[in-house]
Amino acid sequence: HAPLAVDGGLGIKFCRRHWGDVLVFLDSHCEVNEMWLQPLLAPIKQDRKTVVCPVIDIINADTLIYSSSPIVRGGFNWGLHFKWDPVPASMLNGPEGPTAAIKSPTMAGGLFAMNRNYFNDLGQYDSGMDVWGGENLELSFRVMLFELYELPLSIRNKPTQN
């Protein structure tokens, strides 16, 4: 199926009726690299309860210079604010090295792929959350008992300001 861009809450309404097997959420201010989709889909094909999040590289908003992001995974602080945590070197020492999928307790809310039916089974995003922030943790906690990975091979670029 072809990608479809939808705005805000329309995306959730659309996914209720979507005909594809996998939903890919990508914030509108992000760009993708070549061959970005295949690494996101492969783990979901193996297990429909796997949620995959790309590592987000950086495009400097002032210079437009591209730079790779350190390998991180989602976390949160005591105020329940999402944050990026460094990945312990021991997690990168397996046979796949730094390209291996990394178990992650949380995810960024606008950058992930998951099986459409699983998203619906989990109850989708909470439609009562009207303010940005928190929806990613709320969905992460529902997913946490299953498979949630940060995937270094599937990179998305996100412009940032200094």
Q: Model confidence over 125-162: pLDDT tens digits?
A: 767 766 666 677 777 777 776 656 666 665 556 666 65
Are 82 and 137 spatial neighbours (Cβ–Cβ below 8 Å)? yes
Tell me which of 66-70, 74-78, 108-112, 128-132 is least confident.
128-132
pLDDT tens, position by position, 8-17: 554 555 555 6
The token duo for 135 is: 């929806």
Residue with tokens 């201010």: 29
Q: What percent of the chain has pLDDT over 70?
A: 72
pLDDT at residue number 27: 81
The model carries a pTM of: 0.72
Q: What does the alpha-carbon distance between residue 138 and residue 108 come to, in Å, rounded to a whole number?
A: 11
Task: Indicate whether 37 pLDDT > 80.
Answer: yes
The token duo for 128 is: 């009562």
| Rama region for 91: left / alpha / beta (φ>0; ψ in -120 to 50; rest) | alpha
Domains of the chain: 21-160 (3.90.550.10)
Are 137 and 76 spatial neighbours (Cβ–Cβ below 8 Å)? yes
Q: What does the alpha-carbon distance between residue 87 and residue 139 come to, in Å, rounded to a whole number?
A: 21
Element (H, E) at 72: strand 72-76
What does the CA dihedral 34, 117, 108, 127 come to, rounded to 10 degrees?
A: 130
